[in-house]
Structure 1
Amino acid sequence: MAGSAQSPRARYREQTRAEIKDIALRQLAEGGTGAVALTRIAKEVGLSGPALYRYFDSRDALLTDLIRDAYADLAGAATAAAGALPEGTSPRARLQALGAACREWAVAEPHRYLLIQGTPVPGYTAPADTLDSARAVLGPFLPAFAQAEPTASVRPVVAQMTEWAARDTAVAGWARTRVPAGAEGVALAGAVLGWTHMHGAVGLEVSGQFEGMGHDGATLLTAQIGLLADAFGLA
C-alpha cells in the first residue's frame, strides 16, 4: 500500500523546522552554543517569537534536535566506513578505518562535533535517548575486539566492563548484537578506550589545540589507535 503524502501544512512545518536548524547551525559555527539565539533565528526566518515556539518550544529543544542529528550523521559515517571494508579486513585495519572516518567527519563539521563531544552546554541536560545515539557511534567498533587478547595494561578496564555487562542486561544485549556471547566485556572495554583515544585526539584537533605544532592530526590518531590495537593484541 502506498504511503500517504504529507499535507501542505506538514511539508511547510518540516521546511520551517529545517530552516530554523540551518540558521542555528550557522550561529553555532560562528560562536558556539552561546551564539544560538531563538530571537535572532525568529527574525531571520520571518516569524514572531511566539510563532517560533510552535516549532521548537525552547532553545534546549532546538539543541536536542541538533545533537540527535549530529550523532546520527557521525554514526552514519562510522557505519558506512565499516560497510565499505572488504571481507577479511583485519581487526586492526577495521579500527583504523573507523577512527579515520570519524575524524574526517569531525574535521569537516567541527561545530557539530564539539556540540556532542565538547564542553557541556551550561544548564542543558540531554534527554536519555541521546545515549542510544552515542551507542550507535560506538557500535561499529565492537566487532574489532571480538577476538581480542587484552594485555595486562587494559585488563582492569576489561574486568570492570565485564562486571558492567553482567549487571546491566541492556548493555550486554546491545553488545551481543555485535559480538559473540562471552566477548561483551572485552569488546566494551575496547570500544570505550577507543572512544577516549579517538575523541581525545580529535577533540583537541578540532578545537585548535594543535595549531603551531609540528604534526598532522591524522598521523597522531593513527598512532593512538595503533597503541590501542597493541594493547588488545589485535592482528
Structure 2
Amino acid sequence: MEDIPDRRARRNAETKAEILGIALDVMAEEGVAGLSMATVARRLGVRPPSLYKYFASRHAVYDALFKRGQEGYLAAVGTPGEEGLRGVGASLEAGARWIMDNQVLAQLLFWRPVPGFTPSPESYAPAQDIHRHFAALIGQAVERGELHPDAAGEEGLDLVASLISGAITQQLANQPGVTYEQGRFTRLVPRLSAVFAAVYPPP
C-alpha cells in the first residue's frame, strides 16, 4: 500500500506537470513572454496564490520548462546513434525535427524571449551535455579524417550551432505552421554537415 508521503509527492508531481502543461498552452496563445500566472491558475481551477505552493514565481515556471525542453532536445539529438560527420548531420536533423514539434519550448530555449529570465544551473546542465555531444561527434570526425582538426575547437562548435539556428530561425519566422518535411528551410538541414565540412575540409 502506498504511503501517505509517497502519495502526496506523486500528487505534487502530477499537479506541477499539469501547471507546466497549462503554461505551455498559454505561451502558445499569448507568446512565450505572455505567460500569466493568473491565467494558469484560472485554467487549473485554483486561486493564483495556490500556484506558489508549486512554483515560487513565474520565472520558476519558465525555469522548469527550460529544463524540460533542454532534456527533450538532448534526447532528440542523441537518438540517431551515428558517429563522426554522419552523426553530426543526423543529430542536427533530429534536433530540427524536435524544434518543429516543440516550437514554444524552442523559443524559450534558443531565442530567450523573456526579459530578465536566466535559467538556473540545474536547468542549463542539459544544454552543456548537448554541447559535449556535438563536440564528441566532431572529435570523431576529426579522428576519422573527415574534418580538419580546427573543427573541434570552440569556433567549430559555434559554427555548427549557428548553422542550425540560422536555418530554424528562418523556418519559424517564415513558415511556422508547416511540418519539417514541408519547410522551405528545414529541407536544407540535411546539407548543413556538408557545409560544415566545406569550411573545415580534412588536411
Q: TM-score, normalised by structure 2?
A: 0.83
Question: Hey, what does 2:101 align to over in structure 1?
Answer: 108
Asked whether the equivalents of residues 167 and 186 of structure 2 are also in contact (C-alpha less than 8 Å), the reply is: no
Structure 2 residues without counterparts, runs of 5 or longer: none
Distance 1:17 1:234, change over 3 A: farther
> Given the alignment of the two structures, is residue 195 of structure 1 paired with residue 161 of structure 2, yes or no?
yes
The residue aligned with 1:181 is none
Counterpart-to-counterpart distance in 1, 2:129 and 2:69: 12
Q: Deviations over 1:92-119 (max 9, x none)?
A: 2111101100000001111111111114
Residue 26 of structure 1 corresponds to which residue in structure 2? 25
Q: Mind listing any 5+ residue stretches in structure 1 that lack a counterpart?
A: 159-185
2:197 equivalent to 1:229? yes
- Equivalent residues of 2:19, 2:44 under 8 A apart: yes
Q: CA deviation at 1:209?
A: 6.0
Range moving further from structure 2, 53-62 or 190-199: 190-199
Identity of aligned pairs, percent? Answer: 24
Partner of 2:90: 97
The match for 2:114 is 121
Give the 5 Å matches for 1:1-235.
7-81=6-80, 83=81, 85=82, 89=83, 91-146=84-139, 147=142, 148-150=147-149, 186-208=152-174, 216-233=184-201
* Offset, 1:13: 0.8
Q: Is the 8 A contact 1:149 1:234 kept in 2?
A: yes
Q: How many angstroms apart in 2 are the aligned matches of 1:31 and 1:226?
A: 38
Query: Does the residue aligned with 1:207 lie in a helix, a strand or coil?
Result: helix
The total of aligned residue pairs comes to 191
Q: Is the 8 A contact 1:92 1:234 kept in 2?
A: no
Classify the secondary structure of the residue corresponding to 2:67: helix
Q: Matches of 1:27 and 1:234 in 2, distance apart?
A: 48
Higher helix fraction: Structure 1 or Structure 2? 2
Q: Report the Cα distance in structure 2 between the residues aligned to 1:106 and 1:45, rounded to whole angstroms.
A: 27
Indicate the residue corresponding to 1:172 in structure 2.
none
| SS of equivalent to 1:132 | helix
Does the C-alpha gap of structure 1 residues 92 and 234 become closer, same or farther in structure 2, counting only changes over 3 Å? farther
Query: Which structure 1 residue ranges, 4+ long, deviate > 4 Å from structure 2?
Result: none
Mark the CA change 1:122 to 1:215 in structure 2 (over 3 Å): closer, same or farther: closer
- CA positional deviation for 1:188: 3.6
Is 1:106–1:206's contact at 8 Å kept on the other side of the alignment? no
State how far apart, in whole Å, the 1-side matches of 2:94 and 2:4 are: 36
Q: Shift of the alpha carbon at 1:50?
A: 1.4
Retained in 2: the 8 A contact 1:117–1:203?
no
Counterparts of 1:8 and 1:122, CA distance in 2:
37
Shift of 1:61: 0.3
Return the TM-score normalized by structure 1. Answer: 0.72
Distance apart, 1:5 and its partner CA: 9.1
Compute the displacement of 1:228 (Å): 0.7
* AA in 2 matched with 1:217: F
Please report the RMSD computed on the Cα atoms of aligned residues, expressed in angstroms.
2.6
